[in-house]
Amino acid sequence: MSMFLRSRTNNTLRHLFTHPLFSSSRFIGTLVVAEHEGGSLTAASLSSVAAANKFLSQDNSLSLLLAGSGPSLHDAAANAASCHPSVSQVLVADSDRFKHHLAEPWAKLIHLVQQKDEYSHIVTASSTFGKNILPRAAALLDVSPVTDVIEISDPKTFVRPIYAGNALCTLRYTGSDPCMLTIRTTSFPVAPASPDSKTGAAPIHQVDLSTFGEDGNSKFVKQTSQESERPDLGTARVVVTGGRALKSAENFKMIEKLAEKLGAAVGATRAAVDAGYVPNELQVGQTGKIVAPELYMAFGVSGAIQHIAGMRDSKVIVAVNKDADAPIFQVADYGLVGDLFEIIPELLEKLPEKK
């Protein structure tokens, strides 16, 4: 009986979608809200595109929304148009008010685009950008967003970690369109572009901002970022992390040296950040960055629940700690009990040069 009902609903829906009213006048589809940098989409945005592909069907197309100003926006739009064969259009909002990632104009922009195009899904990465703007936009649209999705089971059913990753919650979105998600980028790896996927770039459309109205009540002042030669923590293949046991910012340089040798990114525990050994943005954990590299090496890290939350999905975990009872050893594939001040120099000597 229920099978029968379901198939009938599907037929009705299919009929609706192929109705002439809906076929050409608008997109029934998924909108990816993308970030760009230096004329290209960020790695996190490419992951959002990979996630959005889960919603694709005959009736569901994929649009990308980019905003900002200047030539780098238009370079990014051109790159975005051919970033994935499933991208069917790129929407560009060109205005100085989107130059910085202020939540107020961005949320308004999403609201504006949604009112015009009526997407079934709106997806963005669970970066600080996505976490800042998407819930605000969702409130304007009066829907509940779903944050930090790690699995898309069907177009309305998702899995997300709760309680610092100690439980996985499967939930169904039962509200009205759009269904809004931020996705955990480490769970949606970007497929390497195949050579023949470059055929045909999607059309680029300008978003009509004539009805945008007044500017918001917040102003960008400045950005302070750490310049680093090392790979980005969120996407690095290898991550080397130090904890409180490093004892000082000076000693932490050993971790940096090791990272350099491995071509790795540097991470830190909350304790190491709070003690001032490294800046905040290197913190791995429930409230910092979530990483899932091929190799995660933790030195002098005890393995608090909140830290494990940020690295438990790493492929291979190595832990070096003086305390044989440290909880980190329960998640480590390879553990070495000993003094990191002896072990790191030895590793530096014995590790092969990075490829």
Partner 1 sequence: MKIMVAIKRVVDYAVKIRIKSDKSGVETKNVKMSMNPFCEIALEEALRIKESGFASEVVAVSMGPTQCVDTLRTSLAMGADRAIHVDAPSGSVLPLSVAKILKALVEVEKPGLLFLGKQAIDDDCNQTGQMVAGLLNWPQGTFASKVVLDKEKKVATVDREVDGGLETLCLDLPAVLTADLRLNQPRYATLPNIMKAKSKPIKKMTPEELKVEMRSDIEVIQVTEPPKREAGVIVSSVDELVDKLKNEARVI
Residue ranges of the binding site: 244, 269-270, 283-287, 300-307, 321
| β-pairing verdict for 295-299 and 238-242 | parallel
Q: Give the shortest CB-101-to-partner 1 separation in angstroms.
A: 8
Nearer to partner 1, 29 or 165 (CB): 165
Of positions 29, 68, 161, 242, contacts partner 1 by CB under 8 A: 161
Residue 244 binds to partner 1 (criterion: CB under 8 A): no
Count of beta carbons in the 10 Å neighbourhood of residue 176: 9
Chain-centre distance for alpha carbon 9: 34
* Residues whose CB falls within 8 Å of the CB of residue 272, separated by 6 or more in sequence, listed in order: 242, 243, 244, 246, 252, 278
Q: Which of 262, 265, 311, 326 binds partner 1 (CB under 8 A)?
A: 262
Q: How many residues interact with partner 1 (rule CB under 8 A)?
A: 91
Residue from 41, 137, 245, 298 binding partner 1 (CB under 8 A): 137
Which DSSP letter does residue 230 get? S
The rounded distance, in Å, linking the Cα atoms of 253 and 78 is 41
Per CB under 8 A, 117 contacts partner 1:
no
Which of 82, 147, 197, 251 binds partner 1 (CB under 8 A)? It is 147
Residues of this chain, 202-221, that bind partner 1 according to CB under 8 A: 216-221
Nearest approach, Cβ of residue 222 and partner 1 (Å): 5
- 6 scored as a contact of partner 1 (CB under 8 A): no
| Site mask for partner 1 (CB under 8 A), range 288-327, x = bound | -x----xx---------xx-----x--xxxx-----x---
The yes or no reply on residue 132 touching partner 1 (CB under 8 A) is yes
d(CA 301, CA 324): 12
Helix (H, G, I), strand (E, B) or coil at 200: coil
Q: What is the DSSP string of 32-76?
A: EE--EETTEE-HHHHHHHHHHGGG-BTTBEEEEEEEE-SHHHHHH
* 43 near partner 1 (CB under 8 A): no
